[in-house]
Amino acid sequence: LIRKTGTGDMNVIGNQWKIPVVTYGPGDPHEAHTIDEKVSIDEYLRSIEVLKHTLQHLKRLHDKRK
């Protein structure tokens, strides 16, 4: 995990609600929002799988609480 203090909606929500937040995305964070920003197709597709599995896991945790 990398601790990053970039800008995004999660910063606003976390600060407003006073909760910790997590963000995730493919690519090199040093290239974010620069003229050299790019993401390989493999990284992009892998990020879709990571997000899909994360959401499935969160749903299972939610369903157990019912």
Residue boundaries of the structural domains of the chain: 9-64
Q: Is the whole model's pTM more than 0.75, yes or no?
A: no
35 or 2, higher pLDDT:
35
- What is the pLDDT of the chain when averaged over all its residues? 87
Q: If pLDDT is split at 50, 70 and 90, which confidence band does 10 have?
A: confident
pLDDT over threshold 80, residue 57: yes
Q: Determine which helix (DSSP H) or strand (DSSP E) holds 53, and give its type and residue range.
A: helix 41-64
Give the highest mean pLDDT range of 16-25, 29-38, 55-64.
55-64
3-state secondary structure of 13: helix
